[in-house]
Amino acid sequence: MSLVHQVADVVVGGLIAGVSTFAFSAVMQAYLAISVGAFLAATFYFSRNPWGSPDGDRYNEMIDDVYDRYLP
Instruction: State percent of the chain over pLDDT 90.
Output: 49
Give the model's confidence band at 52: pLDDT under 50 very low, under 70 low, under 90 confident, else very high. Answer: low
What's the DSSP call for residue 28?
S
Spell out the alpha helix ranges (H) of 1-72: 3-24, 30-47, 56-70
How far are the Cα atoms of 7, 9, 25 from residue 49, in angstroms, in the given order?
A: 17, 12, 24
pLDDT bracket for residue 47 (50, 70, 90): confident
How many beta carbons lie within 10 A of that of residue 13, not counting itself?
Answer: 20
Residue 45 pLDDT level (bands cut at 50, 70, 90): confident
Instruction: Count CA within 13 A, CB hemisphere, residue 16.
Output: 20
- pTM over 0.85? The answer is no
